[in-house]
Amino acid sequence: MIQHVAVLQAETYVPLPAGGQYLVTLTFTYTAADPYAIHLHIRAGRQEQEWPLCRDSLIEAVATDSATVGEGDVQITTHPQPDRRVTVIKLTSPDGSAEFTCDTAELGELLERTEDIVPQGDEAPYVHDLLGFDPDQWPGPIDGGHRG
């Protein structure tokens, strides 16, 4: 039976501006219902936020050391460490920014499981199903041209 959800849960510590650190739980969730995104749920105490992350960007970042992937609100960088590789996810909003670190090998395993759900490059039919879109019923280009 094909699994339709892939989940990774990790804990990390985030430094506080006044010193010390705070425990944060990160839950990465992937489903075929949103095949281009991996949703990152961030829980710190009683507060929880959700950020959609581009699956292709995560795949690229995990495969590349020290290059930043993404622009704007989400930037992802993977760094080699003496004993492992870590992936840093930086999120920016009008209210501020935060960086979260997770183990690259664990993130890579999650990304492999997403391939079992929806192979990279095969996302469009899942989006079409979600939207009730039948490409064979599409009348043609919006500019009035004819389908070939």
Given a contact cutoff of 8 angstroms between Cβ atoms, the answer to whether 24 and 100 are in contact is yes
If you average pLDDT over every residue of the chain, what do you get? 84
Phi-psi region of 66 (alpha: psi -120 to 50; beta: other; left: phi over 0): left
pTM score, whole prediction: 0.80
Q: Which pLDDT tens digit goes with each residue over 107-142?
A: 999 999 999 988 888 887 766 566 666 656 655 554
Higher pLDDT, 131 or 91: 91
Q: What's the pLDDT score for residue 17?
A: 80
Given a contact cutoff of 8 angstroms between Cβ atoms, the answer to whether 102 and 84 are in contact is no
Domains of the chain: 5-127 (2.30.31.20)
